A and B are shown apart, each in its own frame.
Chain A
Amino acid sequence: MIELEGVTKKFGNFTAVDNLTFTIPQGEFFGFLGPNGAGKTTTIKMIVGLYAPDSGDIIVNGNNIRSNPIEAKQSIGYVPDIPFLYEKLTGREFLYMIGGLFKIQKSVLHESITGLIEHFEIGDWVDKRTEEYSQGMKQRITIAAALIHNPKTIIIDEPLIGLDPRSAKIVREILQQQSRNGVSILMSTHSLAFAEELCDRIGIINNGRLVMCETREQLKVEKAKYDGNFESVFLEITRQ
């Protein structure tokens, strides 16, 4: 469960996120949409502890990310928008490193990593240094790393960047499976179709403010007001 209450973040005179409030209940798949520079990544970075909000509270699974960061982070699986990895480590070593940071027992970790390697079909190159990887390979490793500790909440920023159709299918299936298992997911994406297909609820942010937050059913009603396309709704809402 993720709760944001009046969260604001400024960079100098520019307000990136402006008094943002929303809640994602446990088990919900939440799509977070918005044009470039709307504040999606800034919001996500505040939720996972990479940015400190100027005001407001962020509670992840009952823990405030600022006052109880360790407990909050323990329950989060995060996939960044650009999958930077330690270039001199192999994919397998990176996964073991993340497992160690989450204090997973070696035997459990070994089984978990073996399963993830099989699931993500990365066995052919997981023992190469990540400096050799393509964008898609790196993306698969970061998603695998986010799942290694069975998180209660997954926060994923632009999951489809650099993925080929086969990889995209794998990611889609995994996210759906996690959602069915009761994991709450916050996914930022530019793919309206992807969001529409997977998400229980969709929020649109523009100029740092949440300008729309609708369930799948409510979205159908909104779409009917236009030409039945989500794209038209999105373009109209984010016009300013």
Chain B
Amino acid sequence: MLIHILRYKLLSYIKSTFDRKPSSIVRGIASLLVFGGFAYTAYLFSAEVTRYMLAHAHTGLYLFHTFVSMILFVFFVAVNLGNIIVSYSTLYRSMEVRFLLTKPISFTSIFILKFLDNFFYSSTTLFLGAFMMFLGYGSYFNYPLHFLVVIMLFVFVPFMFLSASLAGLILMAIMKLAGKIGFKKVLAGIFIIYLFFVYIFFEKSNPTMLVENLNRFIPDIDAYISQMVPGFLHYLPNQWVAEFLYYSARGDMAHALPYAGILITVTAVVFGACLFVAHRFYYKSWLISLQVQPSAEISHRRRHIFDFRSKSIFSPQVEVLLKKEILTFLRETSQWVHLLVMVALAGIFSVSASHINLMRARVIDLHMIIYLVLFTFGGFMISGLALRFVFPMIGLEGQAFWSLKTSPVKQSKIFQLKFIMGFLLILIVAEYITISSSVPFIRATGGSRMLIWFGVFNAFWISFTTVMLSLGFGGYFANYFEHNPIRAASTQGATLTFLITIIYLILIVIVIIVPVSALFSKGITDRYSSEALITLPGALLAFVSGVLSVFGWIIGQRSLKKDF
């Protein structure tokens, strides 16, 4: 039965993906180019970072793999949280599940179908990115291709599958608890637990502390560093992957293979547990989900801040469009919960960045590299936020969009309002990240403002452009039948948009290298006089951003004029 349904799902996917319309072929070629560019960039980036860290910075194999472990931890948590949120929509809210429940199919089969649906639907790009990163990483060690394929299949895939299986278990536990104490309390509890866990991980595996202690053991770094890794880290799957890679890099497969074995075994056990719980509890939890949805009745006597009856400073059209956007966002649990999670992650990043002690890194070049890394990571976070919350804005209007499209309101006004709302949200987060990540550089150099102003200027344009591109492409790729915002933000169109914004970010980094290096080499002082060095790249940045924004605007406007 499972194979039978999977076959038709695959057929449906192939038919909808590979149609022969000229527009689809052009779109396919464009996607291929962007995906190819992304894959190659990921490969180059990974190869260069590995080479720089090991050959130039002489980090040492173990420390390097400790950093890999940290990245894998963030990845694990992100995949886990993402799967919890997406699974809630697909396992409990989807029409397909309602349809399948009326057919003679076991609940476990339905669970497996939707679980795999989630896993592969939202992870295709991750797999591509991860594989290319592994290729780049492996090129430093001259690994053969087949070895990297084996790493992907037997280490990385189980690693992700473990994260997704845990998400399935946690979600069913959430449903069980929600049936007893309410949905909001459980969500708040889970949110606090995750934040606490992330905090503890980075507190205990503090990279700065690790590097500081390391100096005492030079030159036998690898021999001693493993002793400094806190014991609990050895029980985390990211550490197993990192240890596998570390021992493989040393050519010590006898030590490497047990870590792969542990990972595969634990993944199999957790997935088995997930299926067992699903077999016993999935249908019950589905029934619970019907009862625990937030109260749908709203008292018309009590007026709230976004009540349509209240007076407003805006024109009637702007007022109702704004209120509609805000209310539909706040009443969709997966929207505000995910926003909270992402803002909290941005907060953790900003707080961590603002506490970096640059006095330890006395080399100016290193200052600049740290600044650029923080800048890129901040930009990456902004692109992620724009993709998740701005890209689906037009598509989420859904079939109810007829009510706006047949009303006497300009389509451009709808687009502008959506843009302004998305832009304000992203801009606030972007400026916060920029300012807080500039703090250590100001502290290190005795208080310059130039770097902050330059960062604020860049953050403005990056926010403006990523939001415009995300909204425009979101309109172009809009699927008005998709109700799930997370799925809408993981479609092929969304991935393409994300990759375009990443290419834009790389362009921006190239443009700002000259002024940033000039700023750092002059000691980041306010007396910095060579204005041309900063105004020219600034103008170039604004020009590139402006051109891309106009492109996003045109695409968005055209998409709204398409037949509905």
In the complex the two chains form, is B327's CB within 8 Å of A89's CB? Answer: yes
In the complex the two chains form, is A129's CB within 8 Å of B406's CB? Answer: no
The contact size tier of chain A is 35 or more
Q: Is A102 an interface residue (CB 8 A)?
A: yes
A138–chain B nearest beta-carbon distance, Å:
10
Q: Is A222 an interface residue (CB 8 A)?
A: no
Contact with A along B319-333 (1 / 0, CB 8 A): 111011001100110
In the complex the two chains form, is B408's CB within 8 Å of A70's CB? Answer: yes
A74–chain B nearest beta-carbon distance, Å:
4
CA distance A71 to B308 in the complex (A): 24
CA distance A94 to B402 in the complex (A): 13
Q: Is B316 an interface residue (CB 8 A)?
A: yes
Q: Which B residues are CB-close (under 8 A) to A190?
A: none
Q: Which B residues are CB-close (under 8 A) to A80?
A: 402
Q: Which stretch in A103-111, A167-175, A232-240 binds the other chain?
A: A103-111
In the complex the two chains form, is A50's CB within 8 Å of B308's CB? Answer: no
Q: Which A residues are CB-close (under 8 A) to B410?
A: 70
Q: Is B212 an interface residue (CB 8 A)?
A: no
Contact with B along A127-138 (1 / 0, CB 8 A): 111011000000
- Asked if A110 meets B309 with Cβ closer than 8 Å, knowing A71-B408, A86-B324, the reply is yes
In the complex the two chains form, is A73's CB within 8 Å of B406's CB? Answer: yes
Q: Which A residues are CB-close (under 8 A) to B328?
A: 86, 88-89
Residue of B nearest to A42 (CB): B563
Of the candidates B300, B328, B406, B564, the one having the most CB atoms from chain A within 10 angstroms of its own CB is B406
Q: Is B296 an interface residue (CB 8 A)?
A: yes
Residue of B nearest to A80 (CB): B402
Residue of B nearest to A73 (CB): B408
Contact of A145 among B296, B308, B403 (CB under 8 A): B403
B490–chain A nearest beta-carbon distance, Å:
21
Contact of A84 among B311, B324, B400, B563 (CB under 8 A): B400
In the complex the two chains form, is A100's CB within 8 Å of B320's CB? Answer: yes
In the complex the two chains form, is A93's CB within 8 Å of B408's CB? Answer: no
- Asked if A97 meets B399 with Cβ closer than 8 Å, knowing A86-B328, A89-B328, A102-B407, the reply is no
CA distance A74 to B564 in the complex (A): 19
In the complex the two chains form, is B407's CB within 8 Å of A73's CB? Answer: yes
Q: Is B189 an interface residue (CB 8 A)?
A: no
Contact of B296 among A86, A94, A129 (CB under 8 A): A129
Which A60-107 residues have C-beta < 8 A from chain B?
A: 69-71, 73-74, 76, 78, 80, 82, 84-90, 92-94, 96-104, 106
Of the candidates A100, A104, A132, A145, the one having the most CB atoms from chain B within 10 angstroms of its own CB is A100
Q: Is B272 an interface residue (CB 8 A)?
A: no
B319–chain A nearest beta-carbon distance, Å:
6
Q: Is B561 an interface residue (CB 8 A)?
A: yes
In the complex the two chains form, is A100's CB within 8 Å of B317's CB? Answer: yes
In the complex the two chains form, is A101's CB within 8 Å of B317's CB? Answer: yes
In the complex the two chains form, is A106's CB within 8 Å of B298's CB? Answer: no
Q: Which A residues are CB-close (under 8 A) to B407?
A: 73, 98, 101-102
B492–chain A nearest beta-carbon distance, Å:
22
CA distance A50 to B404 in the complex (A): 10
B296–chain A nearest beta-carbon distance, Å:
4
Contact of B406 among A49, A104, A132 (CB under 8 A): A49
Q: Is B299 an interface residue (CB 8 A)?
A: yes
The A-B contact count (CB < 8 A) is 110
CA distance A92 to B298 in the complex (A): 10
CA distance A184 to B324 in the complex (A): 31
Contact with A along B282-312 (1 / 0, CB 8 A): 0000000000000011111000000011010
B324–chain A nearest beta-carbon distance, Å:
5
- Asked if A127 meets B297 with Cβ closer than 8 Å, knowing A80-B402, A103-B317, A145-B403, the reply is yes
In the complex the two chains form, is B298's CB within 8 Å of A129's CB? Answer: yes
CA distance A59 to B403 in the complex (A): 20
In the complex the two chains form, is B297's CB within 8 Å of A52's CB? Answer: no
Q: Which A residues are CB-close (under 8 A) to B323?
A: 97
Contact of A93 among B308, B321, B399 (CB under 8 A): B308
Residue of A nearest to B301 (CB): A127
Q: Is A48 an interface residue (CB 8 A)?
A: yes
Of the candidates A71, A74, A87, A99, the one having the most CB atoms from chain B within 10 angstroms of its own CB is A87
In the complex the two chains form, is B327's CB within 8 Å of A103's CB? Answer: no
In the complex the two chains form, is A127's CB within 8 Å of B298's CB? Answer: yes
In the complex the two chains form, is A129's CB within 8 Å of B331's CB? Answer: yes
Contact with B along A27-65 (1 / 0, CB 8 A): 000000000000000000100111110000000000000
Q: Which A residues are CB-close (under 8 A) to B400?
A: 84-87
In the complex the two chains form, is A96's CB within 8 Å of B398's CB? Answer: no
In the complex the two chains form, is B405's CB within 8 Å of A49's CB? Answer: yes
B399–chain A nearest beta-carbon distance, Å:
4
CA distance A70 to B323 in the complex (A): 22
A149–chain B nearest beta-carbon distance, Å:
9
In the complex the two chains form, is A101's CB within 8 Å of B564's CB? Answer: no
CA distance A156 to B156 in the complex (A): 56
CA distance A132 to B290 in the complex (A): 11
B381–chain A nearest beta-carbon distance, Å:
28
In the complex the two chains form, is A84's CB within 8 Å of B402's CB? Answer: yes
In the complex the two chains form, is A97's CB within 8 Å of B320's CB? Answer: yes
Q: Is B409 an interface residue (CB 8 A)?
A: yes
Q: Which A residues are CB-close (under 8 A) to B402?
A: 50, 78, 80, 84
A145–chain B nearest beta-carbon distance, Å:
7
Q: Which B residues are CB-close (under 8 A) to A97?
A: 308, 320, 323-324, 403
CA distance A90 to B297 in the complex (A): 8
Residues of chain A touching chain B, judged by Cβ–Cβ distance below 8 Å, are 45, 48-52, 69-71, 73-74, 76, 78, 80, 82, 84-90, 92-94, 96-104, 106, 110, 126-129, 131-132, 145
6 shortest interchain CB distances as A-B pairs: A100-B320, A96-B308, A84-B399, A101-B407, A88-B331, A129-B296
Ordered by A's residue number, 8 sampled pairs between the chains whose C-beta atoms are within 8 Å are A51-B563, A70-B410, A84-B398, A88-B328, A97-B308, A99-B320, A101-B317, A129-B296
Q: A97-B308, A101-B409, A102-B407 are in contact. List 17 more A-B contacts (CB 8 A).
A: A50-B563, A52-B561, A73-B407, A78-B406, A87-B400, A88-B331, A96-B309, A98-B407, A99-B316, A100-B308, A101-B407, A102-B408, A103-B315, A104-B316, A128-B296, A129-B296, A145-B403
